Amino acid sequence: MKKILVVDDEDKIRIIIKKYAEFEGYDITEASNGMEAIKACQREDFDLIIMDVMMPELDGFSACKEIKKIKDIPVIMLSARGEEYDKIHGFESGVDDYVVKPFSPKELMMRVNVVITRNARNIHNALASNGINEQEHDVYRYEGLEVDFTSRMVTVDGINASMTPKEYDLLFYMIRNKGIALTREKLITEVWGYDYFGDDRTLDTHIKLLRGNLGEYRSLVTTLRGVGYRFDGV
């Protein structure tokens, strides 16, 4: 049974999420603030964390950063604010998805299922890749930009670019399809999954983060108005 940690200082929110999650077959553990969430993750493993942003003692963004230091657990963040700045802050903290309050419990469960399934698939693929130790690294280079697909590392002029997992996935896919006009729908389907349940503003936010991490090579990610994006490196 998959285990979910629900973190929110509002009892009613935790009760609603627990009710719907248990109906979906998940095992639920609750925490009322960020500090409790960190302690819970130190004690046991979880397949997913659903965490509110505004909480006493330690906010959701800070708690997420601390948890990511010890365990790589996917996180869905809940927030009453839906501004782009908040979403960017969340994704930079390692958040996998972002849900704005008030939310539909059914929609939240759909997002939960997508994130857990995707994470399990990524773990499986990583284990399969690591089993071939003698395989040479698959590397893309463009001037001072180096992208190592095998080790999932990106360096810009010799400096490691610290990206979120989804930024890596997005960059890798675009480079694999460099020179091709990629529609927004195509990118969301291939990078987030055909069953992704969300809006395409998430794509725009990750493109902005990705460009920021690419530094002087940010122009390689070209915006195609009314279509999507294209990676222009040779």
Give the pLDDT confidence of 49-72 residue by residue, as tens digits: 999 998 988 989 899 988 988 888
Give the pLDDT confidence of 97-109 residue by residue, as tens digits: 888 888 999 999 9
**What's the whole-number mean pLDDT along residues 14-43?**
94
More confident residue, 230 or 116: 230
More confident residue, 36 or 120: 36
The pTM (predicted TM-score) of the whole model is: 0.63
pLDDT of residue 212: 92
Please, which pLDDT band fits residue 200 given cuts at 50, 70 and 90? low
Mean per-residue pLDDT of the chain = 86
pLDDT of residue 195: 57
- The answer, yes or no, to whether residue 133 has pLDDT greater than 50, is no
Per residue, what are the HEC states of 166-188?
Answer: HHHHHHHHHHHCCCCCEEHHHHH
Cα–Cα distance, 141 to 102 (Å, whole number):
45
pLDDT of residue 222: 95
Kindly list the structural domains of the chain, giving each domain's residue range(s) and its CATH number in brackets, ordered by start.
3-128 (3.40.50.2300), 139-231 (1.10.10.10)
More confident residue, 83 or 163: 163
